[in-house]
Structures are given as structure tokens and as C-alpha cells.
Amino acid sequence: MADDTLLDIKGLVIEATSYPPGEPPKEVTLVHGVDLKLRRGKVLGLIGESGAGKSTIGLSAMAYGRGGVRLTQGTITLNGRDIRQASARDLRTLRGKEVTYVAQSAAAAFNPAKRLMEQVIETSLAHGIMTKPEAEARAVMLFRKLGLPNPEAFGNRYPHQVSGGQLQRAMTAMALCPKPDLVIFDEPTTALDVTTQIDVLAAIKEAIRDTHVAALYITHDLAVVAQVADEIMVLRHGRLVEHGDTAQVIHAPRQDYTRALVSVRSLEHEEKPPAPPILRVEGVTARYRGTNFDVLKNITVDLAPGQTLAVVGESGSGKSTLARAITGLLPPTQGRIGFAGRQLSRELKGRTKDDLREIQMIYQMADTAMNPRQTVGTIIGRPLEFYFGLRGAARDKRVQDLLDQIEMGKGFADRYPAELSGGQKQRVCIARALAANPKLIICDEVTSALDPLVADGILKLLMALQSEAQVAYLFITHDLATVRAIADKIAVMYKGAVVRYGQKSDVLAPPFDDYTDLLLSSVPEMEIGWLEKTIAHRRMESAGN
């Protein structure tokens, strides 16, 4: 039997030095003896939450450790030789020739001063794999295969002249151009909008199939990996949790952790009936100072107490701008914002302390939403001081109550944000919003920077707090699974306008308008073959028109 094993990792241990705040540096083990085997032409999905070690393992396939990371034990056999022990010279010929890499952010990976073609064929020329005309011909062939517009001329453009999805495909072309044996895809579609992701995913899958390259596909999204991978490895805390065929992992997961990952998307929420609104946004139009382009166009939505309005749309659709208009950070040029029976001033300066108190905001990045030089106690305690004049013991007690409410125990009040995990940080931000006793909380993509299980916990907490305190949420998100899990009402935004608005059951039921249809059908489902089915369906529809 011919051995078609391309990559064989055995007992891989990866260590790094970490610098926890307030403590001396210490050695941490990122990967604890992981085995991995990849055959030629196959795709292996590495899945796990952040810190699971998936990128670290992926990069070890080219014997590379990111800043301060050391591959300390085990063997990494690529094409029959151990590359962990390889010399720097050998590694230089190996990287870019036998193994290539596709990074998450194509925008950060391309040199903005050089044309795409020059960068796509650079590795092939540097390794002397092919001549310039050959490489260019191959690049054009790959551009065509990846569905890029006008493949002959595409390479003449600069990175800023193409869209994010196109750039990600150009990077895939760059990785495939030198005819490598193995490509490492590190979250290649995570930074893209869902409507773009599906096209890029389909292009990557087709290109992998046609070039017979083997691939490591790293992602945190099980539904995405289900579309492209032959096998899936589930990782957690640097250890293997489960390894199996894609179908087995998706449909019959053996481990509890995998089962939890699979079921994350099936949160259900009973829609509440319509009620008199607390927030009324009427005909709001807004533009940024010094521009003559309306970023919000005649927006009319409302929201009842204790209910959730989900605002969905892709990036640049005006979701966050709507939040800025409601909070007064971006005064609307037209329209009115009514809240709790009164008219809110357009400008932040014109609002009363109660206006400010009753509308609170939670941000996407909890990291930047908290002052790193203030303790959790100060962060949560300040609104109590500021709005209610609480001082000393009364304040500390209320802070502890709030910490209990967000399911964080004692001992957190003295900690700094850097000493908290991502989920804990977001919980503290929720507590800060709750401290003001608000009637409305604007949640701006509050779960999109979190791992699925952590995000799940945050959503459950938000729902529990809602039924307790009858606070209304304006929930901005691009993730439709989240929308299903929490919304009572939905507003779909596209290019600054609301294209579809109503009760959840109405918005999510056909007949759809074109954009909502596109958006809904682009969300990957945990089903093998979903990608092909959807793409085929779309081609049929566009042929029909």
C-alpha cells in the first residue's frame, strides 16, 4: 500500500512564556501532546475556541511558532522528514514551497503599495518554482477558479481597490500559486460578512478540490468547517477532544464538549406579543459632520419595555450608527427619538441625567470598553456614585449585588480588567450598564468577539436579566443565530435603511425581499452539503431570471 500520508504530527508539545499582570513571568504549555495525521488531498478541520491551540498547531505544520512560542517535544513529519529539527535553511525552502498559509485578515497581510499580481506570484518566483510568465498564467487561472471578476486584469489592481472577500480569495490564490502540498487556512472567512463568506467558502472549496492540495482548515465555526472538511479535530485547552469524520462529529458527537458546540445554535426564544413602545425612533436620518452622505435614511422603529429589537445587517449597513443616533453621539439631521413618553434631545449635551441613565450601552469589545487602570469595583461603582450618590459601604454592597447578578462571585471587585477572561469582561460591562437601573440597553455586537459557548452564557444571562428587570434591549448583531435566540422584533438594515421590520415570526417567514433572502440563506447550517445546495440553488435562480 502506497503511503499517502503527507503530514504526521506525533506527541507535539508547545510551550510559551506568559507575562500575567502583577505576577512574575511563567512557563505555560499551549499544546499537550497532540497527534495529527493528514493524507494528501484531504482537508482536516481544526476547531475549538480561542486559546484551544488550533492556530498554534496549524502553524507547527510549517515548524513555525509565533512570538515566543516554542515547539518543545514531538515529531512533525512532512513529506517523510521531521521538520521540527530542520535547519533554518531547510525551513526557508519548505515554507512557501511545500506549505503555504492563508491568514484571517487579508487586508493586513497584503502590502498596500504593491499590485496584487506581484504579491501573488512572489513566492513562486522566490523559490524558482516557475518562470514569471508561467506564474502569471497560473495566477490568472487561479483567479478564474476562485471566481474573481475579470481574472486577466485582476492582478493589476492594488489591495485597496478590491473588496474584503476578493482580497481573501486573492490570498488563497497566493497560497495555491506555488503548487504546495499543504495549505493552512487560519480562519479565512471569520472577518467577512456572512453574505460574502458563502462565496469565499465555495471558492476555497472548489480550488482545494481542483488543485488536489491538502489543507488544514482552522476555524471556531463548526457549521463552516462542516462544509469544507473531510475530517474534524475538536481541540480544547491544547488537548484533543474528539477526532472523526465530519459526518460523525456533526451528527453523532461522542464527547460532551462537542455536543455543546453542536447545540449552541439551537437556543430558542419565545416571541413576546406587541406592546406600547418605550423607544420610538421616527424618520431618523443622519450623516457624519463634513459629509453629504446620509448614513441613516429615514429609520422608523420602536421597542416595547422588556422586549428585544434585533438590528441585523452586514458591516457598513448603519447598525452601530443607529445606536449612536439614539444615544445622542451622532445627532440626527431629521426625525425624532421618543423615549418613555418624552422627546429626547438630539444632542448628547441637551439630555438630562435621567435621559442618560435610562439608556445604557454595552460594547462589542469589552477590552476597550473598560478603563484598564480602574478596578472592577470602580468601573461598576462609578454609575452608582454618579447617578444615585451611593458612597462607601452602601456602594460596595450594591457592587457586590451586581457582581452576584452577573454570576461572578466575591473577590472580583479589586481586580483589573486585564485579570479577567473575555466572558468575565463582558459580564462586568453588563453590570456597569445595570448599575444605572436603565430602561433600555443598547447591545452592540456584544457576543461577536466571544467564543460560542461563552457567548451562549452571555445571551442566557441577558435574557434572565431582562425577565427580572423588564429592561428593553436594542440588540445589534450580524449573527442570525443570535437573532433567533433573543429577538422579539427584527429590523434588517441594508445601506443605511431598514429594508424589513416587524415581529420576529413575520420577518423570518417568507415571502422575503431579496436582501433578507440573501442574508438568511447565507448563514451556514450544521449540515453536510449545505454549501453546494445553496450555491446550486442560487445559480438556478439567477439562471431563471
Partner 1 sequence: MRLPFTQTRLPLAAFIGLSLTGIFLFCAVFAQWIAPYPIDMAVGGVWESPSAKYWLGTDTIGRDILSRLIYGGQITIFVALASSALAFSLGAFFGFFAAVNGGWIDQTLSRIVDLMMAIPSLIVALVMLSVLPLNLTVLILVIGVLDSTRVFRLSRAVAVDIAVMDYVEAAKLRGEGGAWVIFREILPNALSPLVAEFGLRFIFAVLFISTLSFLGLGIQPPLADWGGMVKENKDGLVYGKSAALVPAFAIAALAISVNLVADWVLTRTSSLKGGRGG
Residue numbers of the site for partner 1 (CB under 8 A)? 19-25, 327-329, 348, 351, 353, 356-357, 360-361, 363, 365, 367-374, 382-383, 386, 416-418, 432, 436
User: Which phi and psi angles does 475 have, rounded to 5°?
Assistant: -110, 110
CB of 19 to partner 1, least distance (A): 5
Alpha helices in 61-101 (DSSP H): 88-94
- Cβ atoms of 343 and 523 within 8 Å: the answer is no
Name the residue nearer to partner 1 (CB basis): 105 or 211: 105
Name the residue nearer to partner 1 (CB basis): 97 or 287: 287
Name the residue nearer to partner 1 (CB basis): 267 or 365: 365
β-strand partners of 494: 497
SS in 3 state form for 193-212?
CHHHHHHHHHHHHHHHHHHC
Q: Which of 108, 107, 70, 77 is nearest to 94 (CA)?
A: 77
- Supply 84's cell numbers: 521540527
CB of 279 to partner 1, least distance (A): 16
Determine how β-strand 308-312 pairs with β-strand 472-477: parallel
What is the C-alpha separation between 261 and 142, in angstroms, rounded?
Answer: 34
Name the residue nearer to partner 1 (CB basis): 277 or 438: 438
* Residue 499 burial (CB count, 10 A): 16
300: DSSP letter:
E
CB of 103 to partner 1, least distance (A): 20
Name the residue nearer to partner 1 (CB basis): 195 or 375: 375
CB of 371 to partner 1, least distance (A): 5
* Residue 24 burial (CB count, 10 A): 6
- The sheet carrying 334-339 orders its strands as 296-303, 279-286, 334-339, 342-343
Name the residue nearer to partner 1 (CB basis): 20 or 529: 20
What is the C-alpha separation between 123 and 356, in angstroms, rounded?
Answer: 55
Q: Which burial class, exposed, middle or buried, applies to 348 when counting CB atoms under 10 A from its CB (0-12, 13-18, 19+)?
A: middle
What is the C-alpha separation between 168 and 402, in angstroms, rounded?
Answer: 43
β-strand partners of 214: 182
CB of 320 to partner 1, least distance (A): 11
SS in 3 state form for 306-347?
CCEEEEECCCCCCHHHHHHHHHCCCCCCEEEEEECCEECCCC
CB of 485 to partner 1, least distance (A): 24
Name the residue nearer to partner 1 (CB basis): 103 or 366: 366
What is the C-alpha separation between 402 and 469, in angstroms, rounded?
Answer: 13
What is the C-alpha separation between 543 and 505, in angstroms, rounded?
Answer: 30
What is the C-alpha separation between 498 and 439, in angstroms, rounded?
Answer: 24
Name the residue nearer to partner 1 (CB basis): 44 or 370: 370
Name the residue nearer to partner 1 (CB basis): 205 or 357: 357
CB of 160 to partner 1, least distance (A): 22
- Supply 249's cell numbers: 462529529
CB of 338 to partner 1, least distance (A): 19
Instruction: Give the DSSP H or E segment for 303.
Output: strand 296-303
